[in-house]
Structure 1
Amino acid sequence: MQSAMLGKNISAVEVTHISQHGFWLLLDNKELFLPFMEFPWFKHAPLSAVFNIERPQSHHLYWPDLDVDLTIESIENPQHFPLVASE
């Protein structure tokens, strides 16, 4: 019965590479690219803030130092989410 009381096992998320164009996340054994053109909040952010990622739910990522919330769907399909905040 102990296992019924535990929360969901949510895998970690990791920044694997940063370039002048964006950065890659390793998530659930796949890599996702976040181009700075689509995700401008990260372009001038300190590296420590980009690397500080939380995954409160399986479909949701949060960067607390930047106060940025993203769904995994918005990263995988940014064309479905056309609103992009200014830098």
Structure 2
Amino acid sequence: MTSAALGTSTSPAEVTNISAHGLWILLDDAELFLPFTEFPWFREAPIGKVLNVERPSVNHLYWPDLDVDLAVESIRHPERFPLVSRQQSN
């Protein structure tokens, strides 16, 4: 008796470049840019932590050292997922 596969295999994600403006990540056959203005969690992060990216599923990326989860759709279309900043009153 053989067991069925538990899930679909996904190709890994790879950070291919980091600049003063953002980072590039390779997903399948596309290289996507994550500008720090849209993805500020990476701006001050150590490079080693940014490079440690996992792809638990085809639509999900996770940086365990930074505790950052991103939907791939939010990278492809950040305008659909605006950041919301709230100031607290003192």
TM-score > 0.5 by shorter chain: yes
What is the one-letter code of the residue matched to 1:4?
A
Give CA deviations for 1:13-61 in whole Å, capped at 9, x if unaligned: 1111111000100101100000000000000000010000011111000
Instruction: State how 1:46-57 maps to structure 2 within 5 Å.
Output: 46-57=46-57
RMSD: 1.8
Distance in 1 between the 2:84 and 2:46 partners?
20
- The answer for unaligned runs of 5 or more in structure 1 is none
Which structure has the larger Rg? Answer: 2
Q: Can you give the 5+ residue segments of structure 2 that lack an aligned partner in the other structure?
A: none
Kindly indicate which of the two structures has a greater share of residues assigned to helix. 1
> What is residue 39 of structure 1 aligned with on the other side?
39
Report the count of equivalent residues: 86
**Structure 1 runs of 4+ off > 6 angstroms?**
none
TM-score (norm 2): 0.87
Change (3 A) 1:47 1:82: same
